[in-house]
Amino acid sequence: MSDTSTTTPAGIDVAAVRAAAQNLDDGAVTAGYKGQREAVIAMLNGALATELVCILRYKRHYYTVSGLQNGPVKAEFLEHALQEQEHADWLAERIVQLNGKPDFNPATLLARSHAEYDDSASVQSMVRANLIAERVAIESYRQMIEQIGATDPTTRHLLVKIMAVEEEHADDMRDLLE
């Protein structure tokens, strides 16, 4: 008598694994994907807009901060801008993996961003604006992670990784305020 079960002793659903070989146009999204794909893409596009605004803010601060004593602050702004660019790239890549379209439209960027742009003139105002933006990003990522839960482990992992860097950025900005 043969076993008609499609589950292996290790608990792998063989039928689901075989079904994943179908619908190749869906790329990385298999039938087993449990997330609300459109909602996740919308969240990721909001995060992308936030990262893009943060890049622009840090770049502006990098180029406009002056004074010999502010060299370390200037370097910190540039480092953060480059890391925010990496986050934006990761988010855009994930959106594409989920069969979405990353939204880089500059006309709607500020409206979609969770953080604000800043054109402060003083170094302390710049640092404060960046600390506020980092805290906004941290809370945004925390809420996204909570909403996604266990339904999309890849996106969750990405957001946790980005949030950890944002927490480092917030610590850096807080230290510069002192």
How confident is the model at residue 2, as a pLDDT?
A: 47
Report, as an integer, the average pLDDT of 129-145: 97
Residue with the larger pLDDT of the pair 66 and 108: 108
Classify the C-alpha dihedral 87-92-97-98 as positive or negative. Answer: positive
Confidence of residue 100 (pLDDT cuts 50, 70, 90): very high
What's the chain's average pLDDT? 92
> What is the C-alpha separation between 89 and 110, in angstroms, rounded?
18
- The dihedral of CA 137, 164, 153, 51: what is its sign? positive
* % of the chain surpassing 70 pLDDT: 96
Is the confidence at residue 127, as pLDDT, over 80? Answer: yes
Q: Where are the alpha helices (DSSP H) in 20-152?
A: 37-64, 71-97, 109-112, 123-148
* Residue 15 confidence (pLDDT): 80
**What's the CA gap between 177 and 173, in Å, rounded?**
6
Residue 25 pLDDT: 72
Rg (CA), the chain: 21
The pTM (predicted TM-score) of the whole model is: 0.89
> Can you tell me the mean pLDDT for 119-132?
95
Contacts of 62 by beta carbon, 8 Å cutoff, 6+ apart: 74, 77, 78, 81
Model confidence pLDDT, tens digit, residues 23-70: 777 777 777 778 899 999 999 999 999 999 999 999 999 999 988 889
**Residue 23 phi, psi (nearest 5):** 50, 55
